[in-house]
Structure 1
């Protein structure tokens, strides 16, 4: 006969039942975790896309007003060149990831990079890195490896912008002397691009995330190819700007325009709280363009360029997602073969 005065929690068998219930809850939570992570990832993607669309919609009226005063054929050509430049930038990112020990098909690398970078439109550009890491994780790439890739891509972008800027130093000194301090970063950036330094820094980052170090040293070929794509993208951006002038500026000024936009991106990196460096990039761009064209025209071109970049980011991200969806079976096989996570193989396609 049980003692009615015994507290419920002290009765025989109660502790065992409590432990069993806790274990069951943990088991259910562990089983539900992949679904929770997947839902969270999609919520993050949709939120980022919503921010980018809202940002573009807010710019629509002033951009269309500026475009209406331009030659539509030159504007269309400018947008086409810009899209090619965005693709070249994605190829630079994918080249770095491959060199860091995780080869991916170009379509998958472009999807991770282009969709993930939409996070820059959310205030606090860290969201671009977060989204790229989550997309990489979804397809079997370690979050740490994606983060290292994104950081190195940003660093290569800085070095590339300063290399181009060096060819336009007189104009920079005349139009925006405050930018000259950025060139202090060039020697440091070049040192960090040395294969031994790049490999050591990558291994240090991987160690902090408790991941295995690289099995090989990053090669000169990988670095040269990534820098080449980055430089190519900036030159194409310069052509994009030149076309917006309707050809009223000498073609040789493409060097200045490439430097203006690339240095604007670099300066914008330091304004990480602002969505996609808004304001900072425009200030640099207008300051340098005003060396060769009137300030009013430079302001209009800067505004149209910003709108085109936003539209281009949305379009290329959407195209990359569609291509990945059409190739999903082939890409999933590649994901499984190179996956750094066991659960990727169980994903249904």
Structure 2
């Protein structure tokens, strides 16, 4: 059985690598040339840096929930569990990635129920904060007519004051037992996730500035627009990774500070930058994790090296 799982892990790893290569090959790389022609290589590089950094804060948001649901889990185990699922989303179909994430989790001391509950609560935090930050873009888009969107921020306000309420409501809708997650843990998770959205949204802002947008006017629009567009893309689960949905929503927001062709360029470049950033981040983290695990195994097997 151990040999079977070893072979299965190798096959799945190869599938993930192929899926990542296809994801990168399927991007519109012509936007790089368009940005380079504007002498914006520095902004493009900084945008990639923001895209790499953003998910790190998202991982921290999920980690505090995971740790609250059971015994301590070491950093190496947390990183391995999170980033396997992070990269597995590029594999066609949701089931293989979910099964792989659960299998890796159980192999690293995280039970399947704990993994599923932490993922569900984390997704709720991600969507609520993303939609709330999206109000920045929506209000700017609608101007004086956007006042009616203010109530949309109530769920996050409620989550900060009484974190168990939205969690309990969501799990009751799913007809699942309500998890016992301390209020302070949810508040910390919300804080990390908001930081993740802000850092990630900066990558769109840098691309928009590179295309000629006013830096001051574009900042809240880009941050909020990216958060809203990403959540809408995720909720459109019938579309793989929200492809198309995210670009349309983001283009609509960017069109307020850029001509439509430039807004489309930024939206397409955003997909390229975030995909490349996720591949770079995931690849680096998994490489470091496996090197650390290999060294620990070598030390454990050779008492003379202790």
Structure 2 length normalisation: TM-score?
0.81
Cα displacement string for residues 211-235 of structure 1 (whole angstroms, at most 9, x for unaligned residues): xx97xx4222211111111111111
Please state how far the C-alpha of 1:133 moved relative to its aligned partner: 1.6
Structure 2: distance between partners of 1:330 and 1:152: 34
Which residue among 129, 149, 155 is the counterpart of 2:124? 155
Cα displacement string for residues 115-159 of structure 1 (whole angstroms, at most 9, x for unaligned residues): 312232234445543332222122121122212222222211111
Structure 1: distance between partners of 2:247 and 2:173: 36
Structure 2: distance between partners of 1:199 and 1:331: 41
- SS of residue matched to 2:214: coil
Of the two, which has the highest radius of gyration?
1
Partner of 2:49: 80
Partner of 2:58: 89
Please state how far the C-alpha of 1:279 moved relative to its aligned partner: 0.6
Cα displacement string for residues 141-184 of structure 1 (whole angstroms, at most 9, x for unaligned residues): 1122212222222211111112212334323437xx9xx99x76
Please state how far the C-alpha of 1:76 moved relative to its aligned partner: 0.9
Q: Which stretches in structure 1 are left out of the alignment for 5+ residues?
A: 1-31, 333-349
Partner of 1:25: none
Partner of 1:264: 229
Structure 1: distance between partners of 2:36 and 2:20: 23
Change (3 A) 1:330 1:190: farther
Say whether the 8 Å CA contact 2:28–2:268 is kept in structure 1: no
Change (3 A) 1:131 1:298: farther
Cα displacement string for residues 170-218 of structure 1 (whole angstroms, at most 9, x for unaligned residues): 23437xx9xx99x76963995697236647977999988xxxx97xx42
Within 5 Å, which residues of 2 pair with 1:171-320? 171-173=140-142, 187=155, 190=158, 194-195=163-164, 198=167, 217-244=180-207, 245-246=209-210, 248-320=213-285
Matched residue count: 290
**After the TM superposition, which of the residue ranges 161-170 and 275-284 deviates more from structure 2?**
161-170
Structure 2: distance between partners of 1:131 and 1:190: 34
Say whether the 8 Å CA contact 1:161–1:263 is kept in structure 2: yes
Structure 2: distance between partners of 1:44 and 1:185: 40
Say whether the 8 Å CA contact 1:90–1:113 is kept in structure 2: yes
Cα displacement string for residues 73-119 of structure 1 (whole angstroms, at most 9, x for unaligned residues): 11111111221112111111212211222432334322322231223
1:57 equivalent in alignment to 2:25: yes
Structure 1: distance between partners of 2:288 and 2:272: 24
1:119 equivalent in alignment to 2:84: no
Structure 2: distance between partners of 1:263 and 1:205: 24
Structure 2: distance between partners of 1:190 and 1:330: 46
Say whether the 8 Å CA contact 1:129–1:150 is kept in structure 2: no
Alpha carbon RMSD of aligned pairs, Å?
3.4
